[in-house]
Structure 1
Amino acid sequence: MTFINNGSTPSELIPLIATLPALGGLDPAVLESLAQGAQQRQHRDGETLFCEGDTATHWLLIESGCVEVVRFGHEGQELVFHCFQAGHSVAEAAMFMAHGRYPMTARTQGTTVVWRLSREAMHQACERHPALALRLLQDFSKRLYRYINEMQWLTTSSAPERLAAYLLRLPRTPQGEITLPLSQRQLAANLGIRAETLSRLLADWQTQSWLCGQRRSWTLLNASPLRDLAFGSARPF
């Protein structure tokens, strides 16, 4: 880990905070209060940023690279819940949890630069600026609604339906190229299916010319059958 900034509030951080969907359009003074005492740090691949159960003292804003959040089962099995890319925030909801601890472990994928923003600054900013607190509450409610829908989808859908919906949610180029943020084994665990089942589905879909690729790099050749499979994963509101 390398310290890039020692806790001052450089001018480049405020525009970065303003790119967060939940905070865009707020008065710059509000964003400056959020950024008080922020620290910029560069991490190597695979470094742990915080562990499940640690005291939640700060949240993260990713300037470059990727941060994955994971949990470990009783037998040590690993489940990757999400991979956050540049421009995303991590663990801001943990700043308001009554137990004051992180619910997951966060670690880097590749060289990553993050800003550490403090819990104390977040609380003080919300107390001074009700508009900020309302924005965060709306954002947390939106996420909760999405997670409820995803849970229902996971419990009622088949393996092909889940995989198709997941692939269609990934960002893709005009040529249909997508990159899996997880290994295939991690993705299978995330979708609640066997790794062998996921591998078989990808092979079958390649045979049918729906997609092509290997490992984490794929190209969607015919998204229409995938959309048919994923029908029902999206909610009307």
Structure 2
Amino acid sequence: MRPISSQKIIEEIRSVEIFKQIDPAIFKLLIEKSHVSAYRDGHALFFSGDECLHLQIIISGGVQLHFASQEGAEVIFSEMQSGDVLGEVEMTLDCRHSFNAVVCGKTRLLEIDRKTFRELAKVPQISSFLIRAVARKLHQTTAFAEGMALYPLETRLARLLLSLGAAHGRSVHGGILIEKAISQSRMGQLINASRPRINAQLQAWKSEQLIGISQHKIVIMNKRSLEIISRRSDAIC
């Protein structure tokens, strides 16, 4: 494993939110004990059942986590971004991956092998970071399971649009433009629904002026109504 020597890459790592407040000595130790790998869009990082070889922290780009059936059906349960972590649960429990991970766009990952992970996990500031990473992933997975088990399509879709609006939205005349283009098929994978059902619900909301569609991108026109449909606790007041 070659040490990270590029000052540009070190600055890129330092710019990630989770590393901004870390003690300089701890950050230096982390850099010395890890390496950076670059991946292209669509690269499969690992599959369910694979051995977990590295702890991976996303520096830039993104990674989709999904379950796949033997028949080939896929459900995306998390879209990870800069600062998110892969492998912390598997490393801690010494178990194999239980889902698939695929790179989205050009992505850089800070990678730490199993032996180094065990050394770094003894450092309080790093162990605290790992605990937060596990808690964040548990929260995301619980929310996903709740939506799949309890809520109808319109609620799951409203939550997805609000989430996309929060992460990729920009205020425009008439509402919030979701700048990230996303196909109806991809929406279906994210909320476990067929494309025809997604299309029917979007068209219904369009006719009710809850949303608009501009150049294949969605505009949230009535955020309050979507919040009520989403059944989010902070929307009921």
TM range, smaller chain: 0.7 to 0.9
Q: Is the 8 A contact 1:58 1:117 kept in 2?
A: yes
Gapped regions of structure 1 (runs ≥ 5): 1-5
Read off the aligned partner of 1:90 and give its amino acid letter. Answer: L
Displacement of 1:14 in angstroms is: 6.8
1-structure distance, mates of 2:76, 2:170: 24
1-structure distance, mates of 2:104, 2:151: 30
What per-residue deviation string (whole Å, max 9, x for no partner) do you get for residues 71-126 of structure 1? Answer: 22122222222222344333333321322x22222222233333323232221011
Displacement of 1:163 in angstroms is: 0.7
Read off the aligned partner of 2:103 and give its amino acid letter. Answer: T
2-structure distance, mates of 1:13, 1:20: 14
Q: Is the 8 A contact 1:61 1:116 kept in 2?
A: yes
TM-score, normalised to structure 2, is: 0.80
2-structure distance, mates of 1:132, 1:43: 25
Residues 1:209 and 1:218: Cα distance change in structure 2 (over 3 Å): same
Alignment equivalent of 2:119, drawn from 121, 124, 133 = 124
Q: Is the 8 A contact 2:84 2:133 kept in 1?
A: no
2-structure distance, mates of 1:120, 1:191: 37
Q: Which consecutive segments of 4 or more residues in structure 1 shift more than 6 A?
A: none
Q: Percent of pairs identical after alignment?
A: 20
Residues 1:135 and 1:64: Cα distance change in structure 2 (over 3 Å): closer
Alignment equivalent of 1:107, drawn from 97, 102, 108 = 102
Q: Is the 8 A contact 1:72 1:79 kept in 2?
A: yes
Aligned to 1:78: 74
The number of residue pairs the alignment matches comes to 228
What per-residue deviation string (whole Å, max 9, x for no partner) do you get for residues 159-185 of structure 1? Answer: 111111111112211221114575422
SS across alignment from 1:185: helix
Aligned to 1:158: 152
TM-score, normalised to structure 1, is: 0.80
2-structure distance, mates of 1:154, 1:215: 30
Indicate the larger mover: 143-152 or 65-74.
143-152
For residues 10-25 of structure 1, the aligned pairs below 5 Å read 10=5, 11=7, 12-13=9-10, 16=13, 19-21=16-18, 25=21
1:57 aligns with 2:53: yes
Displacement of 1:222 in angstroms is: 1.8
- From the two aligned structures, give the one with the greater helix fraction: 2
Aligned to 2:32: 36
Q: CA RMSD in A?
A: 2.9
Residues 1:139 and 1:48: Cα distance change in structure 2 (over 3 Å): closer
2-structure distance, mates of 1:124, 1:33: 11
2-structure distance, mates of 1:199, 1:104: 28
Gapped regions of structure 2 (runs ≥ 5): none
Q: Is the 8 A contact 1:52 1:102 kept in 2?
A: yes
Read off the aligned partner of 1:79 and give its amino acid letter. Answer: V
Residues 1:27 and 1:83: Cα distance change in structure 2 (over 3 Å): same
Residues 1:216 and 1:132: Cα distance change in structure 2 (over 3 Å): farther
Aligned to 1:191: 191
Aligned to 1:3: none
2-structure distance, mates of 1:215, 1:98: 47
Q: Is the 8 A contact 2:37 2:109 kept in 1?
A: yes
Residues 1:98 and 1:62: Cα distance change in structure 2 (over 3 Å): closer
